[in-house]
Structure 1
Amino acid sequence: MSHAETLRDELAAKGVKYVFGFYVDIHGVPKSKCVPIASLPSMAAGSELYTVGALEGMGDLGPHEDECAGIPDLDRLVVLPWQPEYAVVPTRLHLEGKPYAQESRNFLARQIDRAAAMGFVANVGIEPEFYVLRDTPQGWAPLVAEDRINAPTRGYDLEATVLATEFLDPMVTYMNELDYGVYSFDHEGGDGQYEFNFDYTDAMTMADRMVVFRLMAKHVARELGCIATFMAKPFQDDFGSASHVNISLADPETGANLFAAGDGGYSEISRQFVAGVLAHAGAICAVTSPTVNSYKRFTSKGFMDEISWAPVFRAWGENNRTLMCRMPVNRHCLEVRTVDASVNYHLGIGLILAAGLDGIERALDPGSPLNQDTYQLSEEQIDSLGIGLLPTSLDGALDEFEADDFAARAMGEEFHRTFLATKRAESREYGSVVTDWESRTYLQRL
Structure 2
Amino acid sequence: MNAYEPIESLRQELTQKGVKYAIASYVDIHGAIKGKFVPMAHLDRMMGGSELYTGAALDGVPQDINDDEVAAMPDAATATPCSWNRELAWFASDLYLNGKPFEACSRHILKRQLAAAADLGFAFNLGIETEFFLFKDTADGGFAPISDRDTLEKPCYDPRLLMDNLPIVNEIVEAMNEQGWDVYSFDHEDANGQFETDFMYTDALGMADRLVFFRMMANEIARKHGAFASFMPKPFADRTGSGAHYNMSLADLDSGKNLFEPHGDDPHDCGVSPLAYHFIAGVLKHARAICAVIAPTVNSYKRLVQRGAMSGSTWAPVFCCYGNNNRTNMLRIPSQGGRVECRAPDISGNPYLGAALMLAAGLEGIREKLNPGLPHRENMNDYSLAEVKAMGIEMLPRTLGEAIDAFEADPLAKQVFGDLMFDSFVEFKRSEWEQYHNLVSDWEIKRYLKMF
Structure 2 counterpart of 1:130, from 125, 129, 132: 132
Structure 2 counterpart of 1:320, from 326, 344, 347: 326
Q: How does 1:60-79 map to 2 (within 5 A)?
A: 60-63=63-66, 65-79=67-81
Distance in 1 between the 2:183 and 2:236 partners?
A: 28
After the TM superposition, list the runs of 4 or more consecutive aligned residues in structure 1 that deviate by more than 4 angstroms. Answer: none
Distance in 1 between the 2:304 and 2:372 partners?
A: 22
Residue in 1 that maps onto 2:387: 381
The reply to whether residue 436 of structure 1 matches residue 439 of structure 2 is no
Q: Deviations over 1:13-33 (max 9, x none)?
A: 221100001110001111111
Q: How does 1:147-226 map to 2 (within 5 A)?
A: 147-148=150-151, 150=152, 152-226=153-227
Residues 189-198 or 136-145, more deviating: 136-145
Structure 2 counterpart of 1:359, from 351, 356, 365: 365
1:236–1:304 contact (8 Å) kept in structure 2: no
Residue in 2 that maps onto 1:51: 54
Residue in 2 that maps onto 1:243: 244
Q: How does 1:331-342 map to 2 (within 5 A)?
A: 331-342=337-348
1:125–1:246 contact (8 Å) kept in structure 2: yes
Opposite residue 302 of structure 1, the aligned amino acid is G
Q: Deviations over 1:156-210 (max 9, x none)?
A: 1122222221111111111110111000000000000000000000001100011
Gaps of 5+ in 2: none
Distance in 1 between the 2:85 and 2:101 partners?
A: 31
SS of the residue corresponding to residue 250 of structure 1 reads strand
Residue in 1 that maps onto 2:228: 227
Q: Deviations over 1:135-165 (max 9, x none)?
A: 11353211211110x3x11101122222221
SS of the residue corresponding to residue 323 of structure 1 reads coil
Distance in 1 between the 2:127 and 2:9 partners?
A: 32
Residues 304-313 or 71-80, more deviating: 304-313
Deviation at 1:303, TM superposition (A): 5.8
Residue in 2 that maps onto 1:412: 418
Deviation at 1:217, TM superposition (A): 0.8
SS of the residue corresponding to residue 330 of structure 2 reads strand
SS of the residue corresponding to residue 331 of structure 2 reads strand
Deviation at 1:305, TM superposition (A): 5.0
Opposite residue 285 of structure 1, the aligned amino acid is C
Residue in 2 that maps onto 1:118: 120
2:262–2:338 contact (8 Å) kept in structure 1: no
The reply to whether residue 24 of structure 1 matches residue 19 of structure 2 is no
SS of the residue corresponding to residue 110 of structure 2 reads helix
Residue in 1 that maps onto 2:15: 12
1:283–1:407 contact (8 Å) kept in structure 2: yes
Distance in 2 between the 1:118 and 1:234 partners?
A: 42
Distance in 1 between the 2:38 and 2:175 partners?
A: 23
Gaps of 5+ in 1: none
1:273–1:359 contact (8 Å) kept in structure 2: yes
Distance in 1 between the 2:225 and 2:84 partners?
A: 14
SS of the residue corresponding to residue 263 of structure 2 reads coil
CA 1:254–1:303: 2 relative to 1, 3 Å: closer
SS of the residue corresponding to residue 245 of structure 2 reads strand
Number of equivalences: 443
SS of the residue corresponding to residue 184 of structure 2 reads strand
CA 1:10–1:302: 2 relative to 1, 3 Å: closer
Distance in 2 between the 1:380 and 1:280 partners?
A: 22
SS of the residue corresponding to residue 93 of structure 1 reads strand
| % identical aligned pairs | 45
Residues 22-31 or 317-326, more deviating: 317-326
CA 1:125–1:305: 2 relative to 1, 3 Å: closer
Distance in 1 between the 2:158 and 2:311 partners?
A: 18
Distance in 1 between the 2:102 and 2:9 partners?
A: 28
Distance in 2 between the 1:225 and 1:415 partners?
A: 37
Opposite residue 23 of structure 2, the aligned amino acid is F
- TM-score normalised per structure 1: 0.97
Residue in 2 that maps onto 1:395: 401
